[in-house]
């Protein structure tokens, strides 16, 4: 019996393969690279998160801004180096004690639904942001009132000074949607702003690809470098790397693991720090682990950790070892604190015996699949070497953060964003800070916090440096290193890393010359 | 036949009810900190509390269950806790991706497995041995390994096919085909291999039956015996394996959807599980149970049509 169908099947498969080859050129279209034209074309970027809602009241910083920036203008715009420049607000001024901020608005801006931008629209958006229970709503906690002085003037009144307010208005808090669209109640999926682009829903597949097309009536064409921007949420880091390497993306954030392949492929690499990683000591009063109340024990742990080796093994060497929780480029940064606690087992043992503690154990949480086994093994080994046993308790990924902020653990490894001093203080140091679940504090810290919040620019800077020095001395944390963000663009694209942001702002992309 | 279908439908509804209720109660006990996860780390405890009230997490378990069940019965599965999209929209938006991959794979698996299985059973000898070895090897390789190799070769190396993403069939046929080709190959290899084995042994069994010998002795053409009688007798076994394959693929596709960044049902299930997005997860569970029940029913009907004895038993 002869089997002709087999031959037919092979022929069919071959034909299919050829057809597929012919119709597969639908990746990212590089912008024209003929040297003269530097605008137009399509920019396709990968995002490690999917947008949760296009409603600016639900906007979030970091990776999420890529979805908001095309469609919404913000009140101020943060340049790549963090400088604030005018956007919807042309000028801003504080009163003498920094409790009232007056914003002057552009008078020539129209939302893409035809509504005109005015002070009332800004008030509606700011009020929605601070009362809408979005992820960043707490950043406007100091705002007591937003008032309309005239059509182009808005006054923001504060309960207490907030040195980070202007930064916030240049970020998630400052995105302004059309009041008519707010009224319409469909902003979550149908964004209406005054931004350089509009969402093209016909070319958008939720969770897969969001297409933004140029807003023809935009007031600042210099921010419209591309005709089209496509943002593709790719939540898996390997898939992200594959998409970039295969030419489906012009730019993407990779990881230490996927970096070598991209580098080998000749893509352009950008390295910049935004986070720090290390141990957070929550129980500084010794409620759960009495030994941690002694500063010498906390210092000993700092000395016991072999940061350089951890960075090499876990972070593939892409980053900088440090002993301070505040980031480079912030007022609090102090170069001399980078190596405040070098790896020194003898010193650690000496401090522990001075403190008079015998062997003890700390229970810390771990999340399988999230915490690198090399990391937990390294920490465990380093601490075991000085007589401290780490009991790792596996928690579900979705419960990790809440278990930390609810004070279920005396200490934990964590990776945290490094913002401006005031942002960092409110994140990890202040008595009510998110990552101070035991609310530990002391008089010196409180004085310095007040100085950062209410002092003049010069006083703020001095206080920020002092608080950094103080908490490093007091070993409130055991920082390991600042891992690099590893961002890549293809050869047709350039960008500029954004200070204190995981990914560049969309305004920073341009075709390569 | 009608009472057979009615019996099957009733048992399907019972399965659906039991599975979804059990899932609901199991999820409730594990969902502890979802409000915090929705709002992110910078949210205050007061914000988290507000969110819990907004989501109804402060309500007693039973009343939440009744609410959910009432909604589900009227086709309303609520909205996602994380992106406020209606659950039904999310699922309906992702069904085409998953079904495209799984259905095309099943068709390919059915055709190729029959081809290979029958060839091995009829030819025996070296053809049989070769197919046996290849299919054991093929079913032993994990899908994700195949997927990674395919991406490395065809997407990154040769740049012939996209490494990630899904193009809806309604947008472009070529784009659709290109976007599902690599995941389908990764999924099909194992399915073809194990189905071919089943087809092979079913065909061998049928070939050794008395009635086949009788047909042969009456001088019927071997081709006619094979296509009209043997295949019909062997088909139920193949169909059953395919239906099991289909159900297994709904699980296997989760990994592939992650590797190829496809917006499918599997990845939605994975994501909503890790986030604790209960409404979405419940919706996914209900849809998948419905799909499984329907597929089983269709296979039973097909087997009954092919083999009248099955209808009676």
Q: How far apart are CA A427 and CA A302, in angstroms?
A: 21
- CATH 1.10.3720.10-classified regions of chain B: 91-307
A22 to chain B, minimum CA–CA distance in Å?
A: 8
CA B158, B163, B169, B170 dihedral sign is negative
Of B2, B1, B23, nearest to B289 (Cα)? B23
Confidence band for A36, pLDDT divided at 50, 70 and 90:
very low
pLDDT score at A369: 79
Confidence band for B31, pLDDT divided at 50, 70 and 90:
low
Does domain B91-307 fall under CATH 1.10.3720.10? My reply is yes
User: Helix, strand or coil for residue A239?
Assistant: helix
A368 to chain B, minimum CA–CA distance in Å?
A: 12
Q: How far apart are CA A389 and CA A214, in angstroms?
A: 58
Contact B94 A247 (CB under 8 A): no
Q: Which residue of A7, A26, A370 is the best one to mutate when testing the B interface, meaning the one whose CB has the most B CBs within 10 A?
A: A26
Contact A138 B43 (CB under 8 A): yes
pLDDT score at A477: 97
Contact B83 A141 (CB under 8 A): no
B127 to chain A, minimum CA–CA distance in Å?
A: 12
Confidence band for A118, pLDDT divided at 50, 70 and 90:
very high
pLDDT score at B309: 62
pLDDT score at B32: 66
Q: What digits encode the pLDDT tens for the residues B231-247?
A: 887 888 888 888 888 88
Mean pLDDT for all residues in chain A: 90
Of A24, A66, A53, A49, nearest to A229 (Cα)? A66
Of A228, A223, A193, A240, nearest to A508 (Cα)? A223
Q: How far apart are CA B254 and CA B258, in angstroms?
A: 6
pLDDT mean over B86-96 = 91
User: Helix, strand or coil for residue A57?
Assistant: helix
In chain B, how long is the greatest CA-to-CA distance?
A: 86
Determine contact: B127 vs chain A, CB below 8 A: no
Contact A138 B271 (CB under 8 A): no
Q: B11: which residues sit within 8 A by CB, 6+ positions away?
A: none
Determine contact: B40 vs chain A, CB below 8 A: yes
Q: A394: which residues sit within 8 A by CB, 6+ positions away?
A: A365, A366, A367, A368
A106 to chain B, minimum CA–CA distance in Å?
A: 31
Output phi, psi for A249, to 5 deg: -125, 150
pLDDT score at A5: 44
Output phi, psi for B59, to 5 deg: -80, 155
Chain B residues whose beta carbon lies within 8 Å of the beta carbon of residue A53: 83-84
pLDDT mean over B210-222 = 82
A287 to chain B, minimum CA–CA distance in Å?
A: 21
pLDDT mean over B15-36 = 83
Q: How far apart are CA B257 and CA B165, in angstroms?
A: 9
Q: What digits encode the pLDDT tens for the residues A287-305?
A: 999 999 999 999 999 999 9
Chain B residues whose beta carbon lies within 8 Å of the beta carbon of residue A396: 30
pLDDT mean over A469-473 = 97
Contact A401 B160 (CB under 8 A): no
Give the number of A-B residue pairs with CB atoms closer than 8 Å.
Answer: 171
Q: How far apart are CA A353 and CA A149, in angstroms?
A: 65
Length of chain A: 513
Residue bearing the bigger pLDDT, B286 or B239: B286
Q: Inter-axis angle of helices A237-245 and B231-259, to 10 degrees? A: 90
User: Helix, strand or coil for residue A474?
Assistant: coil
Paired with A75 in beta bridges are none
pLDDT score at A38: 56
What helix, strand, coil percent values describe chain B, rounded to 5? 80, 0, 20
Burial B146-173 (b: 16+ CB within 10 A, else e): bbeebbbebbbeebbbbbbbbbbeeeee
Q: How far is CA A63 from CA A203, A251, A325, A372, B9, in A?
A: 22, 13, 21, 22, 47
Q: How far apart are CA A45 and CA A52, in angstroms?
A: 17
Of B43, B93, B160, the CB nearest to A135: B43
Q: What distance lies between CA B24 and its chain's CA centroid?
A: 22
DSSP state of A286: -
User: Following CA atoms B194, B200, B202, B204 in sequence, which dihedral angle do they give, to the nearest 10 degrees?
Assistant: -160
B 258-287 residues inside an 8 A Cβ radius of A: 258-263, 267-268, 271, 274-276
Which residue of chain A comes nearest to B271, CA vs CA?
A: A235
Which range (A99-108, A120-129, A149-158, B161-170) has the least confidence? B161-170
Q: Is A36 exposed, middle or buried (0-12, 13-18, 19+ CB in 10 A)?
A: exposed
Chain B residues whose beta carbon lies within 8 Å of the beta carbon of residue A24: 160-162, 174, 178
C-beta of residue B184 within 8 angstroms of C-beta of residue B108: yes
Determine contact: B75 vs chain A, CB below 8 A: no
Contact B175 A434 (CB under 8 A): no
Residue A177: how many other CB atoms lie within 10 Å: 28
C-beta of residue A324 within 8 angstroms of C-beta of residue A337: yes
Chain B residues whose beta carbon lies within 8 Å of the beta carbon of residue A138: 42-44, 47
Contact A24 B178 (CB under 8 A): yes
DSSP state of A334: -
DSSP state of B152: I
Of A23, A208, A243, the CB nearest to B166: A208
Does the pLDDT at position A241 exceed 90?
A: yes
Does the pLDDT at position B228 exceed 70?
A: yes
Residue B90: how many other CB atoms lie within 10 Å: 25
Contact B160 A3 (CB under 8 A): no
Does the pLDDT at position A2 exceed 70?
A: no
pLDDT score at A37: 47
Q: How far apart are CA A208 and CA A44, in angstroms?
A: 12
Confidence band for A22, pLDDT divided at 50, 70 and 90:
very low
Chain B residues whose beta carbon lies within 8 Å of the beta carbon of residue A407: none
Percentage of chain A surpassing pLDDT 70? Answer: 92
pLDDT mean over A252-260 = 92
Q: Is A341 exposed, middle or buried (0-12, 13-18, 19+ CB in 10 A)?
A: buried
Determine contact: B150 vs chain A, CB below 8 A: no
Q: How far is CA A374 from CA A164, A306, A312, A382, A486, in A?
A: 37, 13, 11, 12, 20
**Segment (H or E) for A361:** strand A360-366
Of A217, A116, A226, A117, nearest to A509 (Cα)? A226
Of A136, A209, A233, the CB nearest to B42: A136
Paired with A411 in beta bridges are A281
Does the pLDDT at position B308 exceed 70?
A: no
Of B33, B37, B260, the CB nearest to A239: B260
Contact A51 B44 (CB under 8 A): no
Q: Inter-axis angle of helices A373-384 and A307-314, to 10 degrees? A: 160
Q: What digits encode the pLDDT tens for the residues A61-103?
A: 889 999 999 999 999 999 999 899 999 999 999 999 999 999 9
Percentage of chain B surpassing pLDDT 70? Answer: 97
Of B239, B285, B294, nearest to B109 (Cα)? B239
Q: How far apart are CA A487 and CA B171, in angstroms?
A: 31
Confidence band for B311, pLDDT divided at 50, 70 and 90:
low
Q: How far is CA A11 from CA A5, A14, A17, A269, B187, in A?
A: 10, 5, 10, 44, 21
Which residue of chain A comes nearest to B32, CA vs CA?
A: A399
Q: How far apart are CA B185 and CA A401, in angstroms?
A: 39
Contact B162 A246 (CB under 8 A): yes
C-beta of residue A401 within 8 angstroms of C-beta of residue A435: no
Contact B165 A248 (CB under 8 A): yes
C-beta of residue B120 within 8 angstroms of C-beta of residue B132: yes
Q: Which residue of B151, B164, B275 is the best one to mutate when testing the A interface, meaning the one whose CB has the most A CBs within 10 A?
A: B164
pLDDT score at B59: 84
Chain A residues whose beta carbon lies within 8 Å of the beta carbon of residue B262: 208
ipTM computed for the complex: 0.84
Chain B residues whose beta carbon lies within 8 Å of the beta carbon of residue A236: 258-259, 261
- At residue A465's C-alpha, the angle toward residues A462 and A466, to 5°, is 85
C-beta of residue B256 within 8 angstroms of C-beta of residue B143: yes
pLDDT mean over A342-353 = 96
Which range (A49-58, A147-156, A258-267, B54-63) has the least confidence? B54-63
Q: Which residue of A30, A54, A141, A208 is the best one to mutate when testing the B interface, meaning the one whose CB has the most B CBs within 10 A?
A: A208
Chain B residues whose beta carbon lies within 8 Å of the beta carbon of residue A137: 43, 47
Which residue of chain A comes nearest to B122, CA vs CA?
A: A1
Determine contact: B82 vs chain A, CB below 8 A: yes
Contact A135 B42 (CB under 8 A): yes
Of A194, A23, A182, A234, nearest to A105 (Cα)? A194
B214 to chain A, minimum CA–CA distance in Å?
A: 19
Which residue of chain A comes nearest to B44, CA vs CA?
A: A138
């Amino acid at each position: 019996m002869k089997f002709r169908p087999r031959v037919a099947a092979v022929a069919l498969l071959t034909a299919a393969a050829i057809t597929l080859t012919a119709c597969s050129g639908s990746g990212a279209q590089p912008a024209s690279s003929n040297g003269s034209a530097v605008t137009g074309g399509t920019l396709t970027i990968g995002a490690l998160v999917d947008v949760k809602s296009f409603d600016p009241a639900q906007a979030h910083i970091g990776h999420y801004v890529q979805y908001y920036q095309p469609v919404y203008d913000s009140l101020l715009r943060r340049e790549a180096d963090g400088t604030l420049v005018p956007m919807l607000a042309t000028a801003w001024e504080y009163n003498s004690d920094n409790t009232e901020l007056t914003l002057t608005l552009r008078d020539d801006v129209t939302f893409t639904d035809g509504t005109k931008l005015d002070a009332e629209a800004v008030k509606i958006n700011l009020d929605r942001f601070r009362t809408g229970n979005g992820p960043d709503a707490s950043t406007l906690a100091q705002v007591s009132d937003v008032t309309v002085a005239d059509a182009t003037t808005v006054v923001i009144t504060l309960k207490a000074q907030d040195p980070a307010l202007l930064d916030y208005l240049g970020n998630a808090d400052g995105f302004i949607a059309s009041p008519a669209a707010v009224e319409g109640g469909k902003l979550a999926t149908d964004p209406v702003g005054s931004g350089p682009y509009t969402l093209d829903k016909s070319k958008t597949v939720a969770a897969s690809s969001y297409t933004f097309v140029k807003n023809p009536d935009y007031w600042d064409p210099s921010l419209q470098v591309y005709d089209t921007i496509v943002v593709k949420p790719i939540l898996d880091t390997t898939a992200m790397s594959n998409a970039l390497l295969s030419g489906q993306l012009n730019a993407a954030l990779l990881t230490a693991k996927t970096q070598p392949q991209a580098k080998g492929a000749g893509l352009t690499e950008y390295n910049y720090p935004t986070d720090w990683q290390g141990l957070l000591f929550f129980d500084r009063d010794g409620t759960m682990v009495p030994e941690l109340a002694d500063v010498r024990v906390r210092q000993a742990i700092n000395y016991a950790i072999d940061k350089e080796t951890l960075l090499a093994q876990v972070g593939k060497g892409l980053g900088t070892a440090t002993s301070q929780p505040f980031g480079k480029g912030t007022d609090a940064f102090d170069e001399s604190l980078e190596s405040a606690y070098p790896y020194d087992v003898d010193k650690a043992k000496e401090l522990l015996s001075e403190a008079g503690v015998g062997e003890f154990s700390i229970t810390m949480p771990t999340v399988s699949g999230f915490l690198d086994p090399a990391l937990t093994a390294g920490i465990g080994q380093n601490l075991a070497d000085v007589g401290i046993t780490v009991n790792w308790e596996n928690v579900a990924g979705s419960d990790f953060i809440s278990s930390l902020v609810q004070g279920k653990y005396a200490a934990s490894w964590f990776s945290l964003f490094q913002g401006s001093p005031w942002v960092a203080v409110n994140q990890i140091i202040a008595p009510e800070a998110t990552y101070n679940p035991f609310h530990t504090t002391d008089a010196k810290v409180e004085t310095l916090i007040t100085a950062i919040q209410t002092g003049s620019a010069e006083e703020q800077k001095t206080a920020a440096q002092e608080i950094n020095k103080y908490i490093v001395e007091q070993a409130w944390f055991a920082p390991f290193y600042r891992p690099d963000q590893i961002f890549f663009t293809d050869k047709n694209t350039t960008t500029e890393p954004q200070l204190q942001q995981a990914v560049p702002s969309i305004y920073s992309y341009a075709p390569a010359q | 036949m009608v009472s057979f279908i009615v019996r099957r439908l009733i048992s399907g509804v019972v399965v659906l009810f039991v599975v979804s209720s059990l899932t609901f109660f199991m999820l409730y006990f594990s969902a502890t900190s979802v409000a915090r996860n929705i709002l992110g780390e910078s949210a205050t405890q007061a914000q988290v509390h507000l969110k819990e009230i907004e989501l109804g997490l402060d309500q007693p378990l039973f009343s939440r269950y009744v609410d959910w069940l009432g909604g589900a019965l009227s086709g309303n599965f609520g909205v996602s806790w994380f992106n406020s999209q209606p659950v039904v929209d999310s699922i309906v938006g992702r069904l085409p991706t998953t079904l495209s991959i799984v259905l095309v794979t099943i068709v390919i698996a059915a055709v190729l497995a029959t081809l290979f299985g029958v060839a091995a059973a009829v030819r025996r000898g070296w053809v049989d041995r070769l197919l046996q070895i290849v299919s054991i090897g093929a079913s032993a390789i994990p899908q994700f390994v195949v997927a990674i190799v395919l991406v490395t070769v065809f997407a990154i190396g040769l740049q012939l096919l996209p490494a990630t993403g899904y193009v809806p069939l309604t947008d472009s046929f070529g784009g659709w085909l290109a976007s599902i080709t690599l995941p389908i190959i990764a999924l099909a290899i194992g399915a073809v291999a194990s189905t071919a084995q089943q087809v092979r042994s079913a065909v061998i069994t049928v070939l050794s039956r008395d009635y086949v010998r009788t047909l042969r002795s009456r001088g019927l053409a071997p081709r006619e015996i094979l296509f009209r009688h043997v295949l019909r007798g062997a088909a139920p076994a193949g169909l059953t394996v395919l239906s099991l394959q289909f159900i297994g693929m709904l699980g296997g596709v989760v990994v592939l959807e992650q590797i190829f960044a496809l917006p499918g049902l599997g990845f939605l299930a994975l994501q909503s599980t890790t986030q604790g997005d209960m409404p979405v997860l419940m919706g996914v569970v209900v849809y998948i149970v419905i799909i499984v029940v329907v597929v089983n029913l269709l296979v039973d009907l097909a087997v009954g049509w092919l083999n009248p004895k099955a209808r009676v038993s």
